[in-house]
Amino acid sequence: MTKIINGITITAEQEKEIRHQAKLELATHDFWVYSHCRIPAFYKLDRQFLKDLCNVMQALYEGRIRKPNEQSDWYILPRGEFFDEDNGTFDLIKHKYDDWIVCTKLIINMPPRHGKSLTAQLFSEWCFGKEQSNRIITISYNETLSKI
């Protein structure tokens, strides 16, 4: 079966491949999509807590978790606020939040078997895929070992 899209005839297989390649491209910019592409059986669309975790980790990486002063709460700034249309990147640009304090550390406290370690592993992969010179430290402890 063929389709005509914008005057171009494509087969169902070609359409499937185009959709797959588009999803892979999106995964380079969105950690949740990357996680879902890598392990769809675990990163299901109905697991909002995993989507929230992925979004917070990406916001930390992009420097979008900020607060105006020491006494304020942290805010996750929207991605659109940082998109530089001139060069097509999500780098920090001249912005009204430049003088805000940037969050540089994240503590994840979730119940067992909720994907903390797996998400941290995938996050490392995603970060290295974006920039090979990234440095990542993951710290964890086992309660039994920490009491010794």
The full set of domain ranges for the chain reads 2-63+103-147
pLDDT digits (tens, 9 = 90+) for 87-108: 666 555 446 788 899 999 998 8
Give the predicted TM-score (pTM) of the model. 0.77
From 1-15, 32-46, 82-96, the region with the lowest mean pLDDT:
82-96
- Express each pLDDT in 54-86 by its tens digit: 999 999 999 989 999 999 999 998 876 555 556
Structure tokens at 94: 């001249």
> Of 2-6, 110-114, 126-130, 144-148, which gets the smallest average pLDDT?
144-148
Exposure string for 111-126, b = 16+ CB within 10 A, e = fewer:
eeeebbebbbebbeeb
